Structure 1
Amino acid sequence: MSKRLPYLFAGCFWLSLLSTATSAQQTPQAERELQQLQQQIKQTEQQVRQQRRQLQQAEQRLQAADKALAEAARKLRDTQGRQQRLERESANLNRQQQQLQQQLAEQQQLLAEQLKSAYSLGQHDYSRLLLNQQDTGKLERVLTYYQYFNQARLRQLAQINHTVSELEQVKQQLANQQQQLQTELSALQQQQQQLSEARGSQQASVNELQALLKQQGNQLSYLRQNETTLQNTINELRRLAERNRDLSGLTAGRGKYPWPLRGRVLQRFGQNRQGGLASRGILIQGVSGANVQSIADGRVIYADWLKGYGWVIVVDHGKGFMSLYGHNQSLLKQPGDNVRAGDAIAQVGASGGQADPGLYFEIREKGEAVNPLNWLGAQ
């Protein structure tokens, strides 16, 4: 045994040297692999940051496009209102012109009859009639009659002059109104073109955002972020709604309320959306610019652009009930406005990243989303 120990120690020594040599050879390779891995991690982090920037920029462009579209829709709506007012005023002026023309014709007819009577009296020689009167009483009556006749004729002439003057004024006002109407019609056509261009820009932004989400595989994460933003907003609104103690809630009961928009339901409550997240409301198909109506009396507590939902308006109905209307083209009410059931509060659109126009609608009870179809009546 003692003779074998030197050989054993020698073998261990050579094994140790061999192991050290192998480790020395492997260390540079491991370091290279580690550096490559670190470089890949760095590149991946840069790609993630770049993707986030691209997504953020796409969201900003989408928000800007939504705002431009809402502004174009507002201008178009204002111009249409002015146009309708001018048309009503023009119709009133036309009626006034017709009445004045008829009045002038009647006055001219009456004057013609008076002149005819004067001519008839002239045939009897007015001066001779006065000289031949022996009865002073009869003479006074004749003089009074002629004075009355002359005064009536003068009044009639004055009325005709006044009517002619009024008629000329009305004609001038009508000409001015027609000129304004033509100006408004030109502005209307221009704003319709701007609205069309804004919709095109919005659609391009939507396509860009959807392509990025699909490319990055972030649809579910994006939807969750949007839902969290919405829930945080709802929680804040619940605190504000506590002040509206004068509102009575949805007292009509389930299945009694009118639809905010008539149309086919494209997405139901609880149905998985693109990305796999369950919907907390319903999506109703609509036409751009159609009116969105409040389902019940209440007070507007939110009216602004919200990420993922576009132009959103929230109505507090009291007793913990709220209704939410999203993806609108533009909003017609402001926070603090009281609304009645059936009032137009927004216009249908595709804001917030929608490919097609429609209304996203929610009902919340004490902050929790409930199935709107259980509360709405038949269409």
Structure 2
Amino acid sequence: MQMRLSCLGINSMLLAVLMLPVAVAQQAPKAEQELQQLQKQIKQTEQQVRQQRRQLQQAEQKLQTADKALAEAAKKLRDTASRKQRLEQESARLSQQQQQLQQQLTEQQQLLAAQLKSAYSLGQHDYSRLILNQQETGKLERILTYYQYFNQARLRQLAEINHTVTQLEQVKQQLNNQQQQLQTELTALQQQQQQLTAARSSQQESVSNLQALLKQQGSQLAYLRQNETSLQNTINELRRLAERNKDLSGLTAGRGQYPWPLRGRVLQRFGQNRQGGLASRGILIQGVSGANVQSIANGRVIYADWLKGYGWVIVVDHGKGFMSLYGHNQSLLKQPGDNVEAGEAIAQVGASGGQADPGLYFEIREKGDAVNPLNWLGKQ
């Protein structure tokens, strides 16, 4: 009996061994198919990632282009407004000069009239009788002398009048030219305001597209980290550059008393979580587009350019390892190497670099490390 069971067990094992290649052969196509599907999914995912990266780069490029167009339009608008102001001042000066010349001409005409009246009074004498009367030769000489004096005075007065009239005509012509040029500047100003409005719309559209794309891809955190890394690398480069400015005294002396770079509500505080979860290394101050951004202290501009994630950025070195950074500007008013004083306008408020609303991003760095700006600024 045992012998029979053993034979049956051996036969079952042999049968299973014989059937194994058949089972493997049946499962092989299924495994191969799953592997191919997995490889296909990986390839599709890689293509999607590459496509998303291209879309993000295109969105960033469009944003940068829109920021530059807005800054250029704002600069043209600012320059034209300055020219218009100078023309108005020149027109006012010419108008005042015109009034003075007109008054001068009136006085000269009145003086000439008085001289003519005096000459007429002298003309009432009978000169022929005086000439024939040899006894009054002295009186004749005096009268002739008077006539010569009055004639010379009248000639001088007429020359002055002619000169004043010529000056008056020249001033009138200059004033007319100034008014025509002023009208041309006003027309250009209106066109540039339209360009500025169009540039702002383009910028807002680019910001919306970028934010929507980041939200769709779920890459806000990675985007913010890239921007922060870019900023930190820039700061590290600037630290080496700032070491050359030995004549600056730093920010230690005025801690807690420095003026605000922009008056406005603080939308985001130092250390507060930003969108994506990263802690802010500065503060965000609400502002109005085009308002002036002011340097908090004396210093020297060491950076003024567009930076990804922060838009138009200007960095001022204050010496002793202290720097202040101003971001999301509409346009910059200073260039690297410019010396600035406390309270001096260095930029204009904007929403560059991906901001939805106008405001100023402000940092203070001490030896490259971000410190809480609120500890350095005075009360608003």
Tell me if TM exceeds 0.5.
Answer: yes
Q: What letter is aligned with 2:95?
A: N
* 1:96 matched to 2:97: yes
Moved more, 132-141 or 221-230: 132-141
Q: Distance in 2 between matches of 1:156 and 1:33?
A: 112
Structure 2 match to 1:107: 108
Q: Does the CA contact (< 8 Å) of 1:223 and 1:308 recur in 2?
A: yes
Moved over 6 A (4+): none
* 1:217 counterpart = 2:223: no
Percent of aligned positions with the same letter in both sequences? 84
Please tell me the residue identity of whatever aligns with 1:116: K
Contact 1:363 1:370 in 2 (8 A): yes
User: 1:89-147: per-residue Cα shift (whole Å, max 9, x none)?
Assistant: 10000000000000000000000111111111111234545554746665544333221
Q: Say whether 1:85 aligns with 2:86.
A: yes
Contact 1:133 1:139 in 2 (8 A): no
Match of 2:173 in 1: 172
Letter paired with 1:234? I
Counterparts in 2 of 1:129 and 1:188: CA distance versus 1, 3 Å: farther
Following TM superposition, by how much is the alpha carbon of 1:338 offset from its aligned partner in structure 2, in angstroms? 0.5
Return the alpha-carbon distance in structure 1 between the equivalents of residues 66 and 329 of structure 2. 13
Q: Given residue 306 of structure 1, which amino acid in structure 2 is its aligned partner?
A: L
SS at match of 2:254: coil
| Aligned-partner residue type, residue 40 of structure 2 | Q
In structure 2, the residue matched to 1:262 is: 263
1:353 corresponds to: 354
SS of 2:253's equivalent in the other structure is coil
Instruction: Provide the residue aligned with 1:329 in structure 2.
Output: 330
1: CA distance, partners of 2:320 / 2:358:
32
Aligned mates of 2:350, 2:130 — CA distance in 1: 87
Query: Is the CA contact (8 Å cut-off) linking 2:131 and 2:137 kept in structure 1?
Result: no
Matches within 5 A, 1:62-211: 62-129=63-130, 132=133, 134=135, 139-211=140-212
Distance 1:3 1:249 in 2: 101
Q: Which residue of 2 aligns with 1:243?
A: 244
Query: TM-score, normalized by length of structure 2?
Result: 0.96
Q: Does the C-alpha gap of structure 1 residues 131 and 268 become closer, same or farther in structure 2, counting only changes over 3 Å?
A: farther
- C-alpha distance in 2, partners of 1:342/1:87? 27
Q: 1:105 is matched by which residue type in structure 2? A: T
Q: What is the letter of the counterpart of residue 287 of structure 1?
A: V
1: CA distance, partners of 2:17 / 2:240 = 74
RMSD of aligned Cα (Å): 1.5
Unaligned runs of 5+ in 1: none
Instruction: Give the number of equivalent residue pairs.
Output: 379
2:10 corresponds in structure 1 to 9
- The residue number in structure 1 matching 2:287 is 286
